[in-house]
Amino acid sequence: EATKETLGFQTEAKQLLQLMIHSLYSNREIFLRELISNASDAADKLRFESLKNSALLDGEGEIQIRIDHDSEANTITISDNGIGMTKDEVITNLGTIAKSGTADFISKLSGDESKDSQLIGQFGVGFYSAFIVADKVDVYSRRAGSDVSEGVHWESTGEADFSIETVEKAGRGTQIVLHLKDDAKEFSEDARIRNIIKKYSDHIAIPVVMKSQPMPEYDEEGNAKEVTAEPVDEVVNNATALWTRSRSDISDEEYNEFYKLISHDFQEPLKWSHNRVEGKLEYNSLLYVPAKAPFDMYNRDADRGLKLYVQRTFIMDEAEQFLPMYLRFIKGVVDSNDLSLNVSREILQQDPAVDSMKSALTKRVLDMLAKMAKNDEEAYAKFWLEFGQVLKEGPAEDFNNRDKIAKLFRFSTTASEGTAQDQSLEGYVERMKEGQNKVYYVAAENLVTAKNSPHLEVFRKKGIEVLLLTDRVDEWLMGHLMEFDSKQFEDVGKGSLDLGELDTEEEKKAADELATANEGLVERIKAVMAEQVEEVRVTNRLTDSPACLVVGQGDMGAQMRRLLEQAGQ
């Protein structure tokens, strides 16, 4: 008495599904990468669970992914003997989107297909990409370790709902049958499929198997003989984990495709760094800098971290213990020979080996960024625009590396020509005036306000460069950075601003005279404004403005004040 239920997709899932079908139309072939990637994840999960329960592997041969096709029926079928899904898992995994922030994300989509497709790419197209090429999808699945009678059949046309029923399924794992649209017939053709697999899935560590196409045979007269040879299984992909291969054997294209596989990103990465470490600790790492920030970069709960393998065995996604928070945008893989296969998140948090790996990997990333800044300014400018704000969290979190991090910063300064944050602190220091021993900055809400600050007047007059800080985190950052190259940072809008040796003797004398001459005036203003201000001073800092407000040396900066006011404090 198999009962078939019909259930509706979650609203967000339905919206995402429809958007995907429309905006990814020009890049339809990626559906196969997504489904193979899911099959490979399922194999990884099975291997991982079988470490504790080897019985899960019983009854079937090698873990593999199969691709079958039928060009007459116009179908392509992707099968794996990985972990599989229970009925509840199928309902949840294929009918809802668990990721927090999804509704928010969807509301940001513009309706402009090319823009949206980039955003969707970042979000991870996943399983629903099947509906770009199929007008009906059947999923058969059975969780490893469960009974033959506990198979599940899920079916949908990708519109409002799906149906689900319990069925018998002989083997464990998942089989996905795509009934291709009339205009997607190409994806049921052998050569086309092989091509896509080579292109996108060559480096996944699990064999992707297809039936061989028998070679045609000819008789003596040159007529084609009836094919009698049985097709045999043939592994189509390279099936060695990319990061275990040597750098010189891997093409840029392979690196790019591997990045897309692990990151779910559509765009190519900006840079990568692939290393093998030997010695006290042994591990491989392959780290990527994406070209675009994810939509949820500031969501503290968003996924981050590396894919962790131990001796080529997948252990977990989003292992966040290997990189600091301010490098959370880095994607990649780390494969350790020292950790135990039974390692858990809790153990990772306490293992000193993980700490050493974390500092080494952090250094790798900072070096990779420094190299990019030096050798590829254009790429670095892109990087800064996307991730600069996050990198600014660095000095507070990672005090030991703060000099390295500070070198990576870019600021707008009074020397910038456009509006981009394009000046490094090293450049600033090189341009410092004789006798200058501080890095000056002004913090404001935006660049126009910063540039028009009356505090800049004296600096302009003397030709001293000033950083124009307009990001919300800037003053907070200055508080943590404190100095660069032994030069302190100084807020030009604070206190009495001692320019030290930058003032000539005459200027100092003139300032003293001005102060003496105006003592009476200052007293009068003080008396009138006693409620509003703490102190009134004569200044020679202004050339055009008659007066300006400054905050006390030890007080919070103006920008910080506004920030806290906004936060209701």
Q: Which residues are at the interface with ligand ADP (CB under 6 A)?
A: 34, 38-39, 41-42, 80, 82-85, 93-94, 124, 126-127, 174
- Token reading at 326: 């301010």
The least distance separating ligand ADP from the CB of residue 243, rounded to whole angstroms, comes to 20
Q: Which does 373 bind (CB under 5 to 8 A by kind): ligand ADP, Mg ion, none?
A: none
Which tokens in the block code for residue 256?
């790019």
* For ligand ADP, the closer CB: 174 or 389: 174
Q: Which residue from 260, 470, 255, 270 is spatially nearest to 382, judged by alpha carbons? A: 270
CB 102 within 8 A of CB 12: yes
Q: Whose CA is closest to 172, among 55, 313, 15?
A: 55
The listed partner (Mg ion, ligand ADP, none) that binds 395, CB under 5 to 8 Å by sort, is none
Distance CA 396, CA 322 (A): 18
- If one counts every other C-beta atom within 10 angstroms of the C-beta of residue 224, the result is 9
User: What is the H or E stretch that residue 469 is in?
Assistant: strand 467-469
Which of 134, 366 has the CB closer to Mg ion?
Answer: 134
What residue 82 binds from Mg ion, ligand ADP, none (CB within 5 to 8 A, per partner kind)?
A: ligand ADP
Where do runs of H (alpha helix) occur along 392-536?
394-397, 402-408, 425-430, 447-451, 457-462, 474-481, 505-517, 519-528
- Note whether 390 and 400 are within 8 A (CB): no
Residue 327 per-residue DSSP state: G
Q: How far is the CB of 84 from ligand ADP (least distance, A)?
A: 6
Is position 38 an interface residue for Mg ion (rule: CB under 5 A)? yes
CB of 269 vs Mg ion, minimal distance in Å: 18
Torsion of CA 396, 401, 407, 413, to 10 degrees: 10
Q: How far is the CB of 443 from ligand ADP (least distance, A)?
A: 40
- Classified as helix, coil or strand, 318 is strand
For tokens 């699945």, what's the residue? Answer: 141
If the CB atoms of residues 125 and 391 are measured against Mg ion, the closer one turns out to be 125
- Which window, 119-127, 188-196, 356-364, 527-535, contacts Mg ion (CB under 5 A)? 119-127
Count how many Cα atoms sit within 13 Å of the Cα of residue 462 in the half-sphere of its side chain: 24
CB of 27 to ligand ADP, least distance (A): 16
> What is the CB neighbour count within 10 angstroms for residue 301?
9
CB closer to ligand ADP, 174 vs 559: 174
CB 40, min distance to ligand ADP, A: 9
Minimum Å gap between C-beta 241 and Mg ion is: 18
Record the tokens describing residue 269, joined without a space. Answer: 């990465």
The residue (of 143 and 392) whose beta carbon lies closer to ligand ADP is 143
Nearer residue to ligand ADP within complex by CB, 80 or 320? 80
Task: Indicate whether 126 belongs to the interface with Mg ion (CB under 5 A).
Answer: yes
Alpha-carbon radius of gyration of the chain: 31
Of the two residues 303 and 397, which places its CB atom closer to ligand ADP in the complex? 303
Identity of the residue, 128 or 411, whose beta carbon is nearer to ligand ADP in the bound complex? 128
Other C-beta atoms lying within 10 Å of the C-beta of residue 118: 16
If the CB atoms of residues 38 and 424 are measured against Mg ion, the closer one turns out to be 38
Cβ 194 to Mg ion shortest distance, Å = 22
144: left (phi over 0), alpha (psi -120 to 50) or beta: beta
Cβ contacts of residue 451 below 8 Å, gap of 6+?
Answer: 414, 468
Partner from ligand ADP, Mg ion, none binding residue 324, C-beta < 5-8 Å depending on class: none
Task: Encode 231-247: b = buried (16+ Cβ within 10 Å), e = exposed.
Answer: eeeeebbbbebbbeeee
Question: Is-contact 289 368, C-beta < 8 A?
Answer: yes
**CA-CA distance, 466 to 412, in Å (whole number)?**
9
In Å, how far from its chain's centre is CA 532? Answer: 48
Nearer to ligand ADP, 39 or 330 (CB): 39
Selection from Mg ion, ligand ADP, none that 257 binds (CB < 5 to 8 A by kind) is none
User: Nearer Cβ to ligand ADP, position 126 or 395?
Assistant: 126
* Nearest distance, CB of residue 126 and ligand ADP, angstroms: 2
Quote the least distance from Cβ 290 to ligand ADP, whole Å: 16
Chain-centroid distance, C-alpha 357: 20
* Nearest residue to ligand ADP, scored by beta-carbon proximity: 126
Closest contact distance (angstroms) between CB of 63 and ligand ADP is 12
Task: Determine the longest span between alpha carbons in the chain, in angstroms.
Answer: 120
What residue 83 binds from Mg ion, ligand ADP, none (CB within 5 to 8 A, per partner kind)? ligand ADP
Asked if 4 contacts 165 with a C-beta cutoff of 8 angstroms, the reply is yes
CB of 349 to ligand ADP, least distance (A): 24
Q: CB-wise, 260 or 438, nearer to Mg ion?
A: 260
In a 10 Å sphere around its CB, with 0-12 CB exposed, 13-18 middle and 19+ buried, how is residue 280 labelled? exposed
Q: Which residues are near Mg ion by CB under 5 A?
A: 38, 126
